[in-house]
Structure 1
Amino acid sequence: MSTTGADSTPPATGTTPRPRRRVPFWDNARYACIVLVVLGHAIQRLIYDSDIAFAFYLALYAFHMPAFAIISGYFSKSGSPTKTQMARVITDILLPYIIFETLWTLTKWLVEGQANPNPTQPSWTLWFLLALGIFRLVLPYLALLRWPLLWTVAISIGVGYLPNIDSTFSLSRTLGLLPFFTLGWWLRERDVVARLRLLDFRPWWIRVVAVAVLAGTGWAAWNWLPFWQEFDLRHWLFYEDSYADLGLGGEQWWAGGVRIALMLLAVLLCAAFFALIPRGTYWWTTFGQYTMYVFLLHSFVLYPFRESGILRDLEPTWIWLPLVTLLSVVVALALATKPVRRVFRPLVEPRPKWLFRDPELTSREGRRNDPTGSRRPR
């Protein structure tokens, strides 16, 4: 994103500009989100043998990607893009996508003995990278409209009725999650966080309510799990399939109402999640600046566990689920460390000056951004 990962108050006219003050909350939120992403992928193989893991998985997928989209939208600009910002779509989105899609094709060929190179069908986690690119491209146009948030909600609901909008270029999931990205931008555009002092004012009862909301969602996921499985709620939460391809109720005219309910639930859970994010600076806060490394690399770490069957038939769940959760945190930490960033920076943050007529388009004036909007020193 073209905006920074830090909030600041503009200096008064005629005064010397002050350096931007980094707000640790956003780095903490980014890191918490990426941990949830890793965790969601790590426990996927557990859900086939454990109802508790399945319920936990449903509760997690109800909000963790919407939360990431909200953060990405919050640090997005809707003005006409500059040449540098246009170049960043290539260097931050397109090139990493091509690089990692190629790596996934090679991995499947080496491990599975077969590969079907098709850049129009993103491999595993790469769909969100394309989604971020599309979000950035359409936002200036959305900002021209009245009620942009309402329009994106209508788009998200409407695409579910169109079976020809599918996973090609991750378009179905992109349009499905577009309201959350737009909501993040709208919150920044209306200065809602600052005006309501949401990062300053957090009484104890808000945290109690947030815990109750998240716990209640987990309880509902567990208590009515057979119904959610019959309803195929897992795939509803992906925002990927058309309604006709989903389970119970998917072919009904009111299927769009289910998506509305899921979006409202996601917003509620995101609010509860953000209410619990620490506001201070901790030893792990800085890792929130490097979420793209974790996002692009963690799937390669999990791939052997995912394909070998090691995570199947693990009992008892009360041991393995917490253990996998802990390992997900460790993986997210390890992939954001300096040695890993140094080795994989050419892949995650390519800066090919030879590709551009003006090589200066790849410079960041001493700073770097990742596609989620985090700006940081080199």
Structure 2
Amino acid sequence: MSSAAQTPPVTATGPIARARRRVPFWDNARFACIVLVVLGHGIQRLIYDSDVSYAFYLLIYAFHMPAFAIISGYFSKAASPTRRQMARVITDILVPYVIFEGLWALTKWLVEGEPGKNLTQPSWTLWFLLALGTFRLVLPYLALLRWPLAWTFVISVSVGYLDNVGSTFSLSRTLGLMFFFTLGWWLREHDIVRRFRLIDFRPWWLRLAAVAAFAAWAFVCWRWLPLWDEIDLRFWFFYDDSYSDLASDQWWAGGIRVALMLLAIVLSAAFFVLVPRSQTWWTHFGQYTMYVYLLHSFVLYPFRESGILRDLDPTWIWLPLITVLAVLIAFGLSTRPVRRLFRPLIEPRPAWLFADRALVSPQDHRSDPTGSRRSPE
């Protein structure tokens, strides 16, 4: 889940000269997003037995991956990649993908007796690695177009009508979420965040509106939960299945995705409004979300597959407990001992793969999956 930017971007009007420094807001946003990822996966088994958990699940899934994609796009560059940046696509995305697909194949063989052998079908969370790799490869071409946002919006909506675009190399999800990634890049390309002081400007009424947006969506999730269950709304948030697979093969089915994309934009904006701006004791954990993203699924796997997360009652006890557990998992997997132990797997630097070994430095580590290790603000 890494994106390409380590230096200030080059826009259509020239380079934007800014100090290479971290901005706490972005680290806070990254870590908050990864906590939501762990939480969503942690409560997934509860939704079959608890309406409250199901509504909470829908609340999270409506925006958390689009928000991740927006952050990823914001820290990506559309300029022609250098040889070192091209090498990073291999070291930051492709090599970890192969490593963790191998680990999942071994895990499934040991536990289930049936290893997954198809690298074209990403295991569990690994789909987003491939999506980010694709985003980074196609962004320079998208930037050549006159209306890249409009084109990716059309692509994201139209792909649902194509039954032959499936989960191979996570293509359907990649195309479905491409608009959000492009939106993040567009915001930075046009300097929207700095020009409109979107990080600094946060009056009380804007925070109140953000809370109201989440409260309204939470009410909608709870009030009409039987309807959302009947139409399998949660699968719509995956941006994975075609409209015909979602039992909505009518010509207007794309309108549902349009509505959900607009909802994701509103909730993502509300989320960014509520993210703390200042340095906190947990801000630095936002630099290490790759570790949480790739490792948390192994932590949750025995709980999800053993069935012990089913029939947990009462919900008012178990849902908060699992929420706290998800937060603790995110913190635990970000700690220095975990990073030191798993760095060779998550941040591999296989210089032997490259004809020019100077392209890969053993000291060059980038553990943040959704942005550079320095912020452009």
Per the shorter chain, which TM-score range? over 0.9
Contact kept? 1:210, 1:273, Cα under 8 Å: yes
| Matched residue, 1:176 | 176
* 2:234 counterpart of 1:238: no
Aligned-pair identity (%): 72
Match of 1:309 among 298, 307, 310: 307
Question: By how many angstroms is 1:371 displaced?
Answer: 3.7
| Matched residue, 2:102 | 102
**Aligned counterparts, 1:14-53, within 5 A:** 20-53=20-53
User: Could you state the TM-score of these two structures normalised by the residue count of structure 2?
Assistant: 0.94
User: Could you state the TM-score of these two structures normalised by the residue count of structure 1?
Assistant: 0.94
**SS of residue in 2 equivalent to 1:130:** helix
Structure 1 residues 364 and 143: CA distance shift in structure 2, 3 A: farther
**Aligned counterparts, 1:268-283, within 5 A:** 268-283=266-281
Structure 1 residues 22 and 226: CA distance shift in structure 2, 3 A: same
Please tell me the residue identity of whatever aligns with 2:55.
A
**Aligned counterparts, 1:197-216, within 5 A:** 197-216=197-216
Contact kept? 1:92, 1:370, Cα under 8 Å: no
1:198-232 per-residue CA deviation (whole Å, 9 max, x = no partner) reads 11111011111100100110110010000111111
- The root-mean-square deviation of aligned C-alpha atoms, in Å, is 1.7
Distance 1:111 1:36 in 2: 27
Please tell me the residue identity of whatever aligns with 1:298.
H
**Aligned counterparts, 1:309-348, within 5 A:** 309-348=307-346
| Matched residue, 2:264 | 266
Distance 1:153 1:326 in 2: 36
Structure 1 unaligned segments of length 5 or more: list them.
8-12
**SS of residue in 1 equivalent to 2:366:** strand
| Matched residue, 1:159 | 159
1:124-160 per-residue CA deviation (whole Å, 9 max, x = no partner) reads 0000010000000000000000110000010011110
Distance 2:186 2:18 in 1: 26
Runs of 4 or more above 3 Å deviation: 4-7, 364-367
| Matched residue, 1:64 | 64
| Matched residue, 2:219 | 219
Question: By how many angstroms is 1:22 displaced?
Answer: 1.1
Structure 1 residues 18 and 125: CA distance shift in structure 2, 3 A: closer
Distance 2:48 2:315 in 1: 12
Contact kept? 1:5, 1:23, Cα under 8 Å: no
Question: By how many angstroms is 1:363 displaced?
Answer: 2.1
The count of aligned residue pairs is: 366
**Aligned counterparts, 1:240-259, within 5 A:** 240-247=240-247, 250-259=248-257
| Matched residue, 2:136 | 136
Structure 1 residues 6 and 344: CA distance shift in structure 2, 3 A: farther
Structure 1 residues 88 and 212: CA distance shift in structure 2, 3 A: same
